[in-house]
Structure 1
Amino acid sequence: MKTISIVTPCYNEEENVQELYTQVKAVFAEMPGYVYEHIFIDNASKDKTVTILKEIAKEDPNAKIIVNSRNFGHIRSPYHALLQAEGDAVILLVADLQDPPEMIKDFLTKWEEGFNVVLGVKTESHESKAMFAIRKMYYNFINRVSEIELTKNNTGFGLYDKKIIEILKEINDPYPYFRGLISDIGFESYKIEYTQPVRKRGITKNNFYTLYDIAMLGITNHSKIPLRLAAMLGFTMSALSLLVALGYFLAKLIFWNYFSMGTAPLIIGLFLFSSVQLFFIGIIGEYIGSIHTQVLKRPLVVERERINF
C-alpha cells in the first residue's frame, strides 16, 4: 500500500484543525488502497491549537505533530514540514479549510497516472474581489519578469511525488520560495482548477508585510530584470536630462530677455530623480537582503517537540 503524507502548517487555528483532521480522515476512509500520515507543524501558536492537536495525536497515531520553538514565519515552517514527510507522495494542505480536502482524491488520481506534481489552481475565490484581483496582477507581473514560467494562482496547494521532496532536500535553501522551486525543478505538472471557499472561522494570519515578503521573494529569486531595469532607466533618464538641459540653454539664448528659468522645473526634477533613486536603492536592498539570508544559512526552524514520529 502506498503512503501519502498530508502536511498542514498551523498558527492560531484552534477553530479549524479538528474539522480539517476529520475531513482528511474521512477522505482516506473512502480510499482503502492508501495509508496516510497527517503532519501538523505548529508555528508556536498562542491559542489552544497545540492542545487540540495533542488530543488528536493521542487517539490517532496517523496524526503527527511538530511544534516550533517560536514563530519562524509562513515561508520556512511549511517547507520544513514537507522535508520531514516520508510518504510516496506529499500533499500540502492549509489549516483554514480554504484548500478543499476533497480534492485529495483528484490529486491522487492524476498522480497514479504518472504526474509527479499535481497543483490546485484557483480560478475564482470567495475572498475579497480586490485582493483576488491584486494577486492576479502579481502573478501576471512575476510571470513577465521571471526567468522561468511560474504557475499562476497556486499557493502551494497540491501533490508532490517523493522524488520532488528528495530534490528539495538537496537544494538546502534557508529561505525558499517554494512555488518557484517547484517550477524551477522542471517536472511537468497537472493543474486542477477549483474555486477557493471563504474562510469559515478565525481570521487570516496574512497581512501586508507577509504578502509583500513573499512577493519580493518571488521576484528576487527568479528575476534579474529589476536590477537591469535600474541601469537602463538610469541611462535613459541621463540622456533625457541632457536633452532638457540643452533645450533650456538654447531657449535662454534665443529668448534672453523673455525666457525665465524658474525654480519649478528644478524642484520637480530634483524630486523625480530622488524618488527614482530611492526606489531602485530599495530594489537593490531586497537583493542584498536575499543574499544575506542565504549567507547566514540558519536552519529553517528549531523544533521544540515532536509527537508520533
Structure 2
Amino acid sequence: MEKMKKISFVIPCYRSEQTLEQVVTEIREKMNTMKQYQYDIFLVNDCSPDNTRDVIRKLCEEDGKVKGIDFARNFGQHSALMAGLRYSDGDYVVCLDDDGQTPADEVDRLLEKLEEGFDAVYARYEHKQHSGFRNLGSKMNERMTRTMLGKPADLYISSYFAVKRFVVEDMIRYENSYPYVIGLVLRATKNIANVPVNHRERSVGTSGYTLKKLFSLWFNGFTAFSVKPLRIATALGAISAVAGFLYGIYTIIKRFLNPDVPMGFSSTMAAIVFFGGMMMLMLGLIGEYIGRIYISLNNSPQYVIREKMNLE
C-alpha cells in the first residue's frame, strides 16, 4: 500500500494577530477535503510586537497539527521560512503569507503541478492587490533575480510556493547568516512551474515591508548568491580608467593645439570627483562582501528560537 503523502505548511508571522486564525482555519477546511494527504502547519513568530505569539500558542493548544516557533528577536521573513523548513518533514512543503492575501484554499493547484513532476511551483497573480509601492518593489525584485540569479524570464516569483522534499533538504544545508529563499530554490532546481491563483485584498493592516527592508532583501539576494556585482564593478572600473586615459590624451592635444587656452579647473575637479566616487563605490561593494564573509565566519545565526510549541 502506498504511503500517504504529507504536506507541511510554513507561515512566517509578523503583526498577524487578527488574520492568522482565519488562515489556519482555511488550511484545515481545505485539507479536510483532500483526504489523500496528511498535513501539519508551522507558524514562525518573527518577534512580532503585537499578540501574534499568544495567538500561535492558542492555535497549538487547540490542534496538535499546528506547531509554533517563537524567535528571540526579529530576523526577517526569509529566516523565519528557513526555521520552518528545518522543522518540517512533509513530502511537499507549502509556504504562504500570514495576512490572508495568499489563498490557502487554492493550494491544490500548486500540489497538482508537483504531482505532474515539477520540483517547485510558484503562484502567479493575474491581479495583485498590493499597494503601488509593494508592486514596484516586486518588479524590482523580479529584475534583480533575473539579472543576478539567472531566473528564467517567464518564471513569476511570489511568496506563495510549494517545493518537494529534496529541494527543502538542499535549501536547509545553507547555514550562513543571510538566507535568500528564492536564490536557494533556484540553486537547487530549474524544474519550476507557475500556476494562476487569486490574490485577495488585505483585510487588516498594511504590509510589513518598508523601503529599507526591501532594499536590504534585494542587496542580500545578489550579494549572497552572485558575484556579478563584483564583475560589474570591475567592468565599470575598466571603463572609467579608459575614459580617464582618453580624457588625458584629449587634454594634452588640446594644449598643444591652443596653448593660450587655460586648463579647465572645473573639468579637472569633475573628473576627480567622478573617478573618486567610482572607486569608493567599488571599495564599498568589496567591503560588503568581506563583511558578510566575516560575519558568517563568526557563526552569526540565521535565527534564535526562544520557544517551541508542539515541537519535541
Q: What's the TM-score, normalizing by structure 2?
A: 0.90
> SS of 1:76's equivalent?
helix
Question: Matched residues in 1 for 2:178 and 2:229: separation?
Answer: 20
Question: Matched residues in 2 for 1:126 and 1:282: separation?
Answer: 37
Do 1:10 and 1:45's aligned partners in 2 also have CA atoms closer than 8 Å? yes
Question: Matched residues in 2 for 1:170 and 1:118: separation?
Answer: 21
Question: Matched residues in 2 for 1:163 and 1:230: separation?
Answer: 36
Q: CA deviation at 1:223?
A: 2.5
Partner residue of 2:289?
287
Q: How does 1:41-190 map to 2 (within 5 A)?
A: 41-146=44-149, 149=152, 152-186=155-189, 188-190=191-193
Partner residue of 2:301?
299
For 2:213, the aligned partner's letter is: T
Q: CA deviation at 1:187?
A: 5.0
For 1:126, the aligned partner's letter is: Q
After TM superposition, the structure 1 stretch with the greater mean CA deviation from structure 2, 219-228 or 92-101, is 219-228
Q: Do the aligned partners of residues 245 and 219 (structure 1) sit closer, same or farther apart at CA in structure 2, a change above 3 Å counting?
A: same
Runs of 4+ in 1 over 6 A off after TM superposition: none
Partner residue of 1:247?
250
> SS of 1:120's equivalent?
strand
Partner residue of 1:216?
219
For 1:274, the aligned partner's letter is: G
Q: Deviations over 1:28-75 (max 9, x none)?
A: 122122221111011122211111222222221111111112222222
Do 2:144 and 2:222's aligned partners in 1 also have CA atoms closer than 8 Å? no
Partner residue of 2:229?
226
For 2:226, the aligned partner's letter is: S
Q: CA deviation at 1:120?
A: 1.5
Q: Do the aligned partners of residues 189 and 146 (structure 1) sit closer, same or farther apart at CA in structure 2, a change above 3 Å counting?
A: closer
For 1:127, the aligned partner's letter is: H
Partner residue of 1:265?
267
Q: Would you say how many aligned residue pairs link Structure 1 and Structure 2?
A: 308
Question: Matched residues in 1 for 2:201 and 2:287: separation?
Answer: 36
Q: Deviations over 1:114-143 (max 9, x none)?
A: 323222133442223354244324422442
After TM superposition, the structure 1 stretch with the greater mean CA deviation from structure 2, 210-219 or 195-204, is 195-204
Q: Deviations over 1:239-280 (max 9, x none)?
A: 2212212222222222222x1223211222122122222222
- Unpaired segments of 5 or more residues in structure 2? none
What's the RMSD between the two structures over aligned residues? 2.2
1:17 to 17, 20, 23: 20
Do 1:72 and 1:301's aligned partners in 2 also have CA atoms closer than 8 Å? yes
Q: Do the aligned partners of residues 115 and 241 (structure 1) sit closer, same or farther apart at CA in structure 2, a change above 3 Å counting?
A: closer
Q: What's the TM-score, normalizing by structure 1?
A: 0.91
- Unpaired segments of 5 or more residues in structure 1? none
Report % sequence identity.
25
Do 1:68 and 1:303's aligned partners in 2 also have CA atoms closer than 8 Å? yes
Q: CA deviation at 1:104?
A: 0.8
Q: CA deviation at 1:19?
A: 1.2
For 1:181, the aligned partner's letter is: L
Question: Matched residues in 2 for 1:60 and 1:138: separation?
Answer: 37
Q: Do the aligned partners of residues 169 and 232 (structure 1) sit closer, same or farther apart at CA in structure 2, a change above 3 Å counting?
A: closer
